[in-house]
Amino acid sequence: MQKIGNAKVYLKNEAFGGDFVLRNARMINPQESGERICDVAVCEGRIAALGEIPSKFLGAREIKLDGCLLFPGMIDLHTNLREPGREDKETIESGTSAAVAGGFTGIACMPNTDPITDAEQKVRYIIQRSENAPCNVYPVGAATKELKGEEISPFYEMISAGARGFSDGTHSIIRSDILKNVMNYAKMFDTTVFCNCQDINLSKGVMNEGEYSTVLGLRGSPKIAEDIDVARHLITAQYTGCKIHITRVSSKGAIEKIREYKEKGVKVTAATAPHYLYYTDKDLLTYDTNLKVSPPIRTEEDRAELLKALKDATIDTVVSDHAPHTSEEKNIEFDNASFGVAGLETLVGAVFSEIINKNILSITDFAKMMCVNPYKILGLPVPRIAVGESADLSVICPNKKWKVDAKNFFSKCSNSAFLGKEFSAMPVMTIVGGKIMFERDDFNA
């Protein structure tokens, strides 16, 4: 067990696995209409009763959740765990601890490891190392060997080992013939290709190209670097019939293309991240390297289009884009600092404060984005809060005010885009397979 402040994370072999009852939770079942205040009994890893609790649970542990929201387990579709190879940044244990502290019962981990996750034994390594982790880990294998975009990885062997999709991580597959072959193979196995869309020849800057890159004297990456590559991926997906998931969308042009091709029936889903919804390139006037991300934070026009895309479901989910870096990699000149943020532990707070509390999304919409769509994208059964279902549950207190402070992170790294920000919602308990993997002692629901 690891305790930081009033929060505790358990490994699976340490967690409380007995019977317990959740009292007075506001239960959100996104696949069903409405919501209700309900008691939930958990026994032997599954939901045993809803509403009236049987007498056999007398004496079981009771947890009062008055005012709290109870969701089916949330999944983050874009986490970098860094293990193997960069355990100084993050390990599977620390990354999954950060995930449950952020309210996630599962994460899809990217193949940007050292060595790259591009073979059967490397997928098996991650799964084996995750057996005792606090949350479920779903490896996304490298689409091409060593992420070089030249030779396709062994899809069948990696799927057999447990890969839930394929991606070249932060790289775009530049050769269109290789991209077409990747999509054809993925279609054969009915799996999803996760696409990071940026034209490498245009996206060599360190922030968005525009007024503020000129003011700051920093090299910019234009929006068209994203727009052009999104269009290339969409056209190729339409041609092959492959399912694609476009990660971390940041530009208005990309959103417009995704919306257009969804209407054409192309099997495309898309995600963005909280920092694209919260900030604009004007916020980089402070030279804050924690806002240096790839693709870069864009303009207010782009942010407005992202918010519109959330409302009309052009964007299917919000991801943490968790990319932990050491202070030595971030606390340097902006030009030389690494791209990326540590995002697992702040997603809920940022989205509730900036999106839900401003009536851009309803709580049920949020549940669909975090508790339904990610499962479909990974090809997993969609969970419900129902008798007999596995007890994978995320509990959020929507009125818990807190300030983002890196000393309270379970992640090894502190490169959050939201340091010092005050949020109005907080994950307070995460239950995985009927075990309480994360809980806070200090929430007054």
Which residues are designated catalytic?
321
Of 280, 323, 398, which Cα lies nearest the Cα of 82? 323
Give the span between the Cα atoms of 342 and 275, in whole angstroms. 11
Q: Which residues contact 75 (CB under 8 A, 6 or more apart)?
A: 104, 105, 106, 107, 108, 138, 370, 371, 374, 375, 378
Q: Which residues pair with 62 in a beta bridge?
A: 21
Q: How many CA atoms lie within 13 A of 85 on its CB side?
A: 13
**Position 381, amino acid:** P
Give the span between the Cα atoms of 407 and 135, in whole angstroms. 22
Of 166, 146, 147, 169, which Cα lies nearest the Cα of 156? 166
Q: Which residues contact 47 (CB under 8 A, 6 or more apart)?
A: 40, 41, 385, 386, 387, 388, 389, 390, 391
Give the span between the Cα atoms of 403 and 407, in whole angstroms. 11
Angle between helices 252-263 and 300-311 (to 10 degrees): 30
Q: Which two tokens stand for residue 210?
A: 């525009």
The dihedrals phi and psi of 255, each to the nearest 5 degrees, come to -60, -45
**Position 407, amino acid:** K
The angle at the Cα of 295, spanning 294 to 297, to the nearest 5 degrees, equals 100
Angle between helices 224-240 and 252-263 (to 10 degrees): 20
Q: Which residues contact 144 (CB under 8 A, 6 or more apart)?
A: 118, 150, 151, 152, 153, 168, 173, 178, 182
Q: Which two tokens stand for residue 102?
A: 């952020």
Q: Which two tokens stand for residue 270?
A: 């898309």
Give the span between the Cα atoms of 115 and 94, in whole angstroms. 19
